[in-house]
Amino acid sequence: MAPLTLTILGAGPAAPNPGGANSGYLVRHGDSAVVMDCGPGTAGQIALHVPPQRLDGVAISHFHPDHYFDLVALYYVLKFGDPRGSRLPVWIPPGGREFLDRFGQLIADKPEMMEDVFELCEYPLEAPVQIGALELTFHPVQHYIASYAMRVRSADGALLTFSSDVAPCPALPIAAKDADLLLCESAMLNASQDDPDPLKRGHMSALEAGTAATQAHARSLLITHYRSSPEDDAHHLAAARQTFSGPIDLARPGNTYVVRS
């Protein structure tokens, strides 16, 4: 079977980088394909890598717009595209069904709009769910709102952790423990750009992402949800290398990474 891979649909922060998209990632193993987050600009990227009708599921880390707004675009891709045969499972945070009912009411005067195409599943916390051939576990992490890191394990034991949006917190290294690849957000250039109270923070810097990867004993680190320019990119890489000695890269839209070679 082909190795577990991660394809970047979008890697930008809330203010997307020029020409880029917000948070969205395609995970594949064999015939299984799962999308983690579906931020603006990502739904149209899926078909470049896999027919949307062949997705096994979508998992949403939290309900900030840059992580879920393209569920609407994906809804229409599936509604008016080739038939699937069944609704697409969309795994959402606890309480997410009520949230999406309000969303459907606002945009279409139809609370159950999303359920025309999606099977909405509120995920359990820290208990695995099976999506295709992939096992996903969702871990609460610190952010401005409820947010959940995703731990993805393939049938051959390869392990990917996606941090979600997160501040430095003890929960992240636990979610990323022994990961072959930690896909970690680095929305801040440095900690001073976030709330001065550590308990009210919601984002990481690359320096802190490197620390989390080291604490988790992760094998490699892929920085995402970052501000991109030649100067900023160099800063992210240099900062992460101060605190993590393993392989480090920046998530580039369109690129595919093997989680464990």
Q: Write the pLDDT tens digit of every residue in 47-69.
A: 999 999 999 999 999 999 999 99
Domain extent at residue 243: 5-258
Q: What is the pTM of this model?
A: 0.97
* Structure confidence by residue, pLDDT tens digits, 169-207: 999 999 999 999 999 999 999 999 999 999 999 999 999
Question: Which region, left, alpha or beta, applies to residue 186 given φ > 0 means left and ψ of -120 to 50 means alpha?
Answer: beta
In 10 A of CB 105, how many CB atoms?
13
* Structure confidence by residue, pLDDT tens digits, 213-230: 999 999 999 999 999 999
Mean pLDDT of 94-120: 95
CATH of the domain at 10: 3.60.15.10
Total number of domains constituting the chain: 1
pLDDT (0 to 100) of residue 148: 98
**By three-state DSSP, how is residue 65 classified?**
helix
Strand order in the sheet with 221-224: 129-131, 134-141, 147-153, 159-162, 181-185, 221-224, 248-250
